[in-house]
């Protein structure tokens, strides 16, 4: 078995700048730190991998040395295998190409934005570029995309369990649940 270089040796705890070796303590401290960073604003960008990396770095820079870096290991969650790491750059380039072709979904109805963004966000989730913190990073990326499109997205209206279920379905190319989650938050 190959050891995960992101983990504190002999544990399932991510290596972190805060010195935590207990997963619950790290989770709590990470959430507080990331929330504090999120309140300071989030880097804008062109909805490409560099943009996603900038958001991730901004949020997690106080917690992980690898904040904003594309993962170097394969990961899965809940039985879903995420994109193999060697395809992340191409996968995200395709997402960016589709966002640009759709003119960032400007002047779309709520329904059309939800449908288009549902596919895009499902694919961003499948890419899962980071070892940890993908979901929080993706939601802020989505909020910026909604704003660019002329829609207001309320992240407090994104129901956690529904979002996770929609993310799993999107890994199987069923984007309707993701679109429904987005529509409910507009």
Average pLDDT of the chain to the nearest whole number:
96
Average of per-residue pLDDT across 136-143: 97
Which CATH superfamily does the domain covering 44-185 fall into?
Fido-like domain (1.10.3290.10)
For the whole prediction, is pTM greater than 0.85?
yes
Using alpha carbons, list the distances in angstroms from residue 175 to 52, 100, 111: 20, 20, 13
> Tens of pLDDT along 75-109?
998 888 999 999 999 999 999 999 999 999 999 99
Residue range 11-25, pLDDT digits in tens? 999 999 999 999 999
- Report the SS3 class of residue 18: coil
Give 113's Cβ-side CA count (13 Å radius). Answer: 25
Q: What is the pLDDT of residues 34-76, one digit of tens each?
A: 999 999 999 999 999 999 999 999 999 999 999 999 999 999 9
């Amino acid at each position: 078995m190959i050891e995960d270089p992101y983990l504190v040796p002999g544990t399932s705890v991510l290596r972190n700048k805060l010195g935590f070796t207990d997963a619950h303590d790290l989770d709590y401290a990470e959430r507080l730190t990331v929330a504090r960073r999120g309140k300071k604003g989030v880097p804008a960008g062109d909805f490409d991998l560099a943009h996603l990396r900038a958001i991730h770095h901004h949020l997690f820079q106080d917690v992980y040395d690898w904040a904003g870096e594309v993962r170097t290991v394969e990961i899965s969650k809940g039985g879903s295998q995420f994109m193999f790491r060697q395809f992340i750059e191409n996968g995200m380039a395709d997402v960016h190409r589709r966002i640009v072709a759709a003119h960032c979904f400007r002047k779309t109805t709520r329904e059309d934005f939800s449908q288009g963004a549902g596919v895009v966000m499902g694919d961003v989730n499948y890419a899962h570029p980071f070892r940890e913190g993908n979901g929080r990073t993706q939601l802020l990326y989505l909020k910026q995309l909604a704003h660019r499109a002329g829609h207001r997205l309320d992240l407090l209206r994104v129901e956690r369990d529904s979002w996770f279920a929609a993310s799993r379905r999107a890994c199987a190319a069923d984007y309707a649940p993701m679109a429904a989650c987005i529509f409910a938050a507009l």
